[in-house]
Amino acid sequence: MPKTETYPRLLADIGGTNARFGLEVAPRQIECVEVLPCEDFESLSDAVRFYLSKCKESLKLHPIYGSFAVATPIMGDFVQMTNNHWTFSIETTRQCLTLKKLLVINDFVAQAYAISAMQENDLAQIGGIKCEINAPKAILGPGTGLGVSTLIQNSDGSLKVLPGEGGHVSFAPFDDLEILVWQYARSKFNHVSAERFLSGSGLVLIYEALSKRKGLEKVAKLSKAELTPQIISERALNGDYPICRLTLDTFCSMLGTLAADVALTLGARGGVYLCGGIIPRFIDYFKTSPFRARFETKGRMGAFLASIPVHVVMKKTPGLDGAGIALENYLLHDKI
């Protein structure tokens, strides 16, 4: 089938909180981007139909190909979202939306594909030297949850993406302060994963743990209604609440620990890439935060890590971009 007959293509990037939709009308050209709260819709199909109804004026042809990136493992036809209430059958959804093909991939597989096509101005580099072209790239990112994947570019230029659930590895505290935070989390959860701290809700959890620390009893604190990731970040940056700044510093330090662990595990000389919507909100602070120092604090492997660049993805819709690239690969090669 000629490529022109496969457009427009229906793309989605579905996280725990929001679902982003777009129409790819030509290669790498995505229009009619909408962000919908998942909690506003009973099902994925309902959200898609609502989205298509909003775009009907600009929709000359009904999409027959779709690619959805979802924040959960893909282990067959039945998909259950990790951090929201949606469940769906891929085949039933395809039929419901009258699509010829519906590709469903992990959201960090999509992030990896997006990174393969990014330009220098899509990224903010945090330390390190230069990426090795054919070495593994580590992709991770805090959002509603914590995603992890690996991108490998072969010598012939082809790409291989390895999905993973590295956000659910057990978190190891680095110092006494993080032990205190870990102990607080352990009192609430049987398994204290990295995602418990390195996510939007993780910022709140770190704040709650630090607020109980001896010596901080009289420090100005947020009200219960103010305990949101956005407000904690804002108060940390404006300097009015030292406990919020300590929370953000701790978050960045913990992220440095995990990013280094992932880089060492994968031998990620191709670089580490931080995705998600949290870090770009405070990128100027992040550049001077404890993140990079912690990333390199790995004893005998400090020099190895010091050479690895870390990039923050600043592009607005990488999940949609990656979903589109994955679909293109599938249509050309019958695989992603």
Sequence ranges of the binding site: 12-17
259: its two tokens: 């990013």
Locate tokens 């300097």: which residue? Answer: 239
Tell me how far apart the alpha carbons of residues 44 and 31 are, in angstroms, rounded to a whole number: 20
Locate tokens 């994925």: which residue? Answer: 44
CB 152 within 8 A of CB 178: no
CB 251 within 8 A of CB 243: no
210 vs 73, 140, 214, 247, CA distance in Å?
A: 32, 25, 9, 7
**Residue 6 phi, psi (nearest 5):** -100, 0
DSSP 229: H
Tell me how far apart the alpha carbons of residues 62 and 59 are, in angstroms, rounded to a whole number: 7
Locate tokens 């790498």: which residue? Answer: 28
| Bridge pairing between strands 123-126 and 159-164 | unpaired
Nearest Cα residue to 149 out of 326, 291, 330: 326
In 138-198, which ranges are continuous DSSP H helix? 176-186
Annotated binding site for ATP: 12-17
38 vs 4, 87, 267, 304, 320, CA distance in Å?
A: 32, 12, 36, 41, 16
- Cβ neighbours of 36 (radius 10 Å): 19
